[in-house]
Amino acid sequence: MSSQDPGVGVEPSRDEGSAASDGPANAAIDVDGLELVYSDGTAAVQGVDMTVPEGEFFGFLGPNGAGKTTTIKVFATLLSPTAGEVSVNGFDVRSEPRAIRETIGYMAQETSIDPELTAEENVRFACEAYGVPSAERDERVTELLDLVDLADVADKRSEEFSGGMKKRLDAATALVHRPPLVFLDEPTTGLDPKARNRLWEYFRRINDLGTTIFLTTQYLEEADQLCDRLAVILDGEIVADGSPADLKREVGGEVLDVELEADGDASSRAATIAREFEAFADASVTETDEGISVTAETAREHGTDLLVALRDADLTVTGFNIRAPTLDDVFLAITGEELDADESSEADAEGSR
């Protein structure tokens, strides 16, 4: 990218005169008791409270159907809350939707680019749609294509682009009006790791330039790499929040992964032994594909004792490792389940579309 400041995210975020600016100072998003019940009775979001300060890179995590998209749609004024108060950029979602739409960018799960148009035409079209003054459009198109590294293919029709390029172009179109707050709804789902890494760079860059980012993702590594703070939503309710480091600390202690020779019910027998192991009284024990994982304050101290106990029970340990908890462990501890990230991601290589 050029070293020039492309000016993304430098607009003031708040109309000081707005009657709805009664949330905490400098909150990009302020939510109190949000509920959203769909017309068929599905309670998608229940009693959500959260505050996202300006400039934060905030991550919203949860499995499919947890309520992430519904929440974003309320923030973007595409759905009206059933109950609760929500202000975005200091504006009320019910009474000031227009002011909110003018001050946010929204990258939905499905890309909104037109495959028939070139990269440049797509960004120019978004400039028109968002009312960017015509005198500013040329410069804005250039700076945004530069920001997302598509200047070289500005004249190519976007139908020729890889999945990662399309996502980058979509990100550029969400930024044409220099919104101080951007919603990214699972922006990297289905992309291969290289394309994903590339998008991360742009998101970091936008955030460094001052833009608040609200990201939903199923990829825990993505949240760990990018986010200052996270909230985990499950069945419409927030069940944990904090910085990635805080959340990992809350898991407590370290994780001992034990690999076992596959032998019928080896994992479940090993898990029972670990649970009954006195030194691991407060441990959390889970069965994994390879064997078991034990999270405990004393994992390091008493790990070898457990290995001996497993051997005494005729279980064959083929490997073990002691490590710090990851966000996967956090998610497992909170929900009892692994976050089922899209397994097709490896198939969708950057050059494959």
Ligand X SMILES: Nc1ncnc2c1ncn2[C@@H]1O[C@H](COP(=O)(O)OP(=O)(O)OP(=O)(O)O)[C@@H](O)[C@H]1O
For the chain, what is the HEC assignment?
Answer: CCCCCCCCCCCCCCCCCCCCCCCCCCEEEEEEEEEEECCCCCEEEEEEEEEEECCCEEEEECCCCCCHHHHHHHHCCCCCCCEEEEEECCEECCCCHHHHHHCEEEECCCCCCCCCCEHHHHHHHHHHHCCCCHHHHHHHHHHHHHHCCCHHHCCCEHHHCCHHHHHHHHHHHCCCCCCCEEEEECCCCCCCHHHHHHHHHHHHHHHHCCCEEEEEECCHHHHHHHCCEEEEEECCEEEEEECHHHHHHHHCCEEEEEEECCCCCHHHHHHHHHHHCHHHCCCEEEECCCEEEEEECCHHHHHHHHHHHHHHCCCCEEEEEEECCCHHHHHHHHHCCCCCCCHHHHHCCHHHC
Q: Which of 62, 187, 190, 291 binds ligand X (CB under 6 A)?
A: 62
CB of 183 or CB of 280, closer to ligand X = 183
Q: Does 38 bind ligand X (CB under 6 A)?
A: yes
CB of 108 or CB of 306, closer to ligand X = 108
Q: Which of 8, 23, 27, 69 binds ligand X (CB under 6 A)?
A: 69
Provide φ and ψ at 55, rounded to 5°. Answer: 90, -10
CB of 61 or CB of 132, closer to ligand X = 61
CB of 26 or CB of 112, closer to ligand X = 112
Q: Does 213 bind ligand X (CB under 6 A)?
A: no
CB of 44 or CB of 123, closer to ligand X = 44
CB of 189 or CB of 284, closer to ligand X = 189
CB of 31 or CB of 299, closer to ligand X = 31
Q: Which of 8, 20, 66, 339 binds ligand X (CB under 6 A)?
A: 66
Which listed range, 19-27, 35-43, 111-119, 197-205, lies at the site for ligand X (CB under 6 A)?
A: 35-43
Q: At closest approach, how far in Å is the CB of 197 from ligand X?
A: 21
Q: At closest approach, how far in Å is the CB of 58 from ligand X?
A: 15
Chain residues 273-312 in contact with ligand X, contact rule CB under 6 A: none
Q: At closest approach, how far in Å is the CB of 284 from ligand X?
A: 25
Q: Which of 1, 2, 19, 65 binds ligand X (CB under 6 A)?
A: 65
Q: Does 40 bind ligand X (CB under 6 A)?
A: yes
Q: Which of 67, 90, 291, 303 binds ligand X (CB under 6 A)?
A: 67
Binding footprint of ligand X on the chain (CB under 6 A)? 38, 40, 42, 44, 62, 64-70
